[in-house]
Chains A and B, each alone.
Chain A
């Protein structure tokens, strides 16, 4: 089946319910595979109507690196934000490591993002994600993400 036509396990309404990114920085369209606490597979369809294409670049539109990274991490955070107890919590980057860009992504491309959660403990999530266009690797990175609402429960007293 074509990636863009895969039946979602989380549609855009469910994504909006479970995480806090909104237009113009909500950068995944649906989740098509999900094992809570372990992995998630997201889909992002790019069209020329995306706000960044006219500026990046007017003569050669392609997806900026920061958008690719954000698409990866937005899929990644849903590996744990899909759980009812964490749904809707905000997240912050702690670190991004080993970023690799392998392919230029252009209007019309469909990005498949595969994210894995390695550990989630006391509001600190560690894991990785990689993306593909037509089976060809586009981007990959490792993430450490904090969930302040959980993290703050463990802060020492002043």
Chain B
């Protein structure tokens, strides 16, 4: 599974949302992405990529698109 597939899978499995809705998805756009859902997403990403995210990055992680940039800091590249 590619990094992009892992990234998409973390969102779809955590929020039970269709992949087609992810490109412009932001925090609190859907009920499932609330503060508890956010922690679940962070845990899913950390497990998927074997990383531990800093608190500042968790706070900055406000959308699907922003998350891709943040993960690049952890050497998670997505083409």
Q: CB within 8 Å of B: which residues of A?
A: 94, 121-124, 146, 148, 151-158
Contacts and interface: CB of A to CB of B under 8 A. Distances in A.
Contacts of B39: 121-124, 146, 151, 154
Given A122-B42, A123-B39, A154 B60 contact: no
Contact of A151 (B27, B36, B60, B62): B36
B59 A155 contact: yes
B55 A156 contact: no
A104 to B, nearest CB: 34
Instruction: Tell me if A's interface is mostly helix, strand, loop or mixed.
Output: mixed
Interface of B: 27-28, 35-36, 38-40, 42-43, 55, 58-62
Contacts of B40: 124
A97 to B, nearest CB: 14
9 contacts: A94-B36, A122-B39, A146-B36, A154-B38, A154-B58, A156-B38, A156-B58, A156-B61, A157-B60
Contacts of B35: 146, 148, 151-152, 154-155
B46 to A, nearest CB: 9
Contacts of A151: 35-36, 39
Contacts of A157: 59-60, 62
B61 to A, nearest CB: 6
Nearest to B34: A155
Contacts of A123: 39
